[in-house]
Structure 1
Amino acid sequence: MERNFEKWLSTLRSSISDYKYYVDFEKVYENINDIKVELNILNSLIGSKDFDDEFRSICQKYPQTLKCIPILLAVRQYEIEVQTNYKNIKYDFMLYKYKKLSHNDIDLYLEFLKETGLKELIVNHIINNLVDYVLGIEVGLDSNGRKNRGGHLMENLLERYIQALNVEYYKEMYTKDIEKKWNIDLSLLTNAGDVAKRFDFVVKTENQIYVFETNFYKAGGSKLNETARSYKNITQEIDRVEGVTFIWVTDGYGWRSAKHNLKETFDVLNTLYNIHDLENGILRKVIL
């Protein structure tokens, strides 16, 4: 039966974000727990009337508290480089692990707190608790990871449908590994082996190998046109390889801005599917 592209396009989804997509609180709490004791020690500086001397004393007694300072500025690395009008200064907040801190070392850290505004933040009681403050920072930093989490959502979704088939399947498999495992020639896909090609999933049945690519595009962009053209080329090349079927599962409103290129691939790739197709059991019909 001939498929209708416009009808198929109308079933694309605007989002596939799950509850964990927005903030990974388990990771946030884990990061907080790693430095919770040290943050509570530094809490004694909040509203301090003699911040400089108290900070020096803490550095001498509990030098490990220094590892908390970068995260107070929403910075993950322990080495921070600062360019002033006169010189370049490198701060190593794990220096205490390698040597006993000198008075000059501690004064340098104190200068950092003053110049970055952290001293003012703590002394003027602008915050009440450093643990709560860092919790907010960690939530904010974790939101930056949404792009990476979003990239795996479609893979995870597709994998659940593949698992439901109870077939032999592999995740993130390179063409060279497919060739070696099942003794087939995929050189048409790799320019005779010059280009490394990896498929998101590979399903092996008794008589056929199914190679999968999957993605989700929430927004448009030039990348979508390149993706559609690339998968059209893969389709035409795999059609020349006996015993191998290419399946592309994609979705997202982003395709609305690249529908012309997507239609070109749709017209030559009968196994181009979306989430709506998966929900209606397309993989069971095609593979089993």
Structure 2
Amino acid sequence: MALRDFNAWLGEFRESISSYNYYVDFEKVYRNVDKIKVELNILNSLIGEKDIEQKFLDLVSKYPEVLKCIPLLLAVRQQEIFAMDDKGSFKYSFKVQNVSPEQYSYFMTATGLYDLLSNHIINNLVDYVCGVEVGLDSNGRKNRGGHLMEDLVEEFIKETGKEYYKEMYLTDIEKKWGVDLSSVSSSGKATKRFDFVVKTENQIYVFETNFYASGGSKLNETSRSYKMLSQQIDGSEGVTFIWVTDGLGWKSARKNLEQTFEVMDTIFNIKELEDGILSEVLI
């Protein structure tokens, strides 16, 4: 492999790898709304009602299943909500009725939901909850972001045609191929899971992947720990550690990354994967 320049290598790092479905998983949003669509339509009858409290009590008496929708109207996923004021404290269950209908009605008043419905601030609860779900789904971007890099790297591994495994524990690697990784596991005291493991005729390659769009102290620790991990694995015959990382967040932690880069031949960025580096390395 040709000699690499750290500054040039770091200069290839990317701002983002976000795909179009990274921002909102609309399929998930629609699934969640469909689960309670009937109940939401029943609650729609409260919109614009002047005597909304009595109407609500009548609905809960006739259709108690509408209660399960209420937390989501407050953008809450849990089916139990704790609330307190000068009249006392209550833990409301919206899965199994645990307080009187009148207490649920008080909850609707105190949280502002009656005002939302009776004053026509919204016109349709199905549309409203769809918007709530979009907002809640934005919290899932962190998880989706973590998988974006894994998905990207997996495609390049597939292109090599090599045998590979996802999310494999160190102990499983030892058992499957009879290799000694005690230097990594502290003689079996620690567990470690690798994002990918590639098995070729002559070697086992264990992969870690990550992408950092923004900086932080975590990056320095990540760089140091992977440097140590690489050195530990170097002492294990037949096993090679590969780290694929990218993202402009590394600009704030470049010194620690450079130290790892200088001692680790198998640290790669996305550009190198695109240029076919894995086909050269996985032998």
TM bucket normalised to smaller? over 0.9
Partner letter of residue 138 of structure 1?
E
Partner letter of residue 35 of structure 1?
I
Which whole-Å CA distance do the structure 1 matches of 2:163 and 2:68 have between them?
47
Name the counterpart of 1:24.
25
Q: Give, in angstroms, the shift of residue 239 of structure 1.
A: 1.2
Partner letter of residue 81 of structure 1?
F
Which whole-Å CA distance do the structure 1 matches of 2:225 and 2:87 have between them?
52
TM-score, normalising length from structure 1? 0.96
Supply the RMSD in Å over aligned alpha carbons: 1.1
Which whole-Å CA distance do the structure 2 matches of 1:122 and 1:12 have between them?
50
Which whole-Å CA distance do the structure 1 matches of 2:234 and 2:94 have between them?
57
TM-score, normalising length from structure 2? 0.98
How many residue pairs get aligned? The number is: 282
Partner letter of residue 109 of structure 1?
Y
Give the counterpart of 1:180 among 149, 156, 175: 175
Q: Give, in angstroms, the shift of residue 266 of structure 1.
A: 0.4
Which whole-Å CA distance do the structure 1 matches of 2:229 and 2:58 have between them?
65
Instruction: Please give the per-residue CA displacement for 1:77-120, whole angstroms capped at 9, x wherever unaligned.
Output: 11101122353201111124xxxx8xx71101100000000000
Which whole-Å CA distance do the structure 2 matches of 1:192 and 1:7 have between them?
39
- Secondary structure of 2:100 counterpart: helix
Partner letter of residue 207 of structure 1?
N
Q: Give, in angstroms, the shift of residue 152 of structure 1.
A: 0.4
Q: Give, in angstroms, the shift of residue 190 of structure 1.
A: 1.1
Which whole-Å CA distance do the structure 1 matches of 2:113 and 2:13 have between them?
48
- Runs of 5+ in structure 2 lacking a partner? none
Partner letter of residue 26 of structure 1?
E
- Runs of 5+ in structure 1 lacking a partner? none
Give the counterpart of 1:235 among 215, 230, 235: 230
Partner letter of residue 169 of structure 2?
Y
Name the counterpart of 2:93.
92
- Secondary structure of 2:143 counterpart: helix
Alignment of 1:32-47 (within 5 A): 32-47=33-48
Which whole-Å CA distance do the structure 2 matches of 1:160 and 1:109 have between them?
51
Name the counterpart of 1:260.
255
Name the counterpart of 2:110.
115
Instruction: Please give the per-residue CA displacement for 1:230-283, whole angstroms capped at 9, x wherever unaligned.
Output: 011011111111111110000000000000000011011101001000100000
Which whole-Å CA distance do the structure 2 matches of 1:166 and 1:107 have between them?
65
Give the counterpart of 1:146 among 138, 141, 147: 141
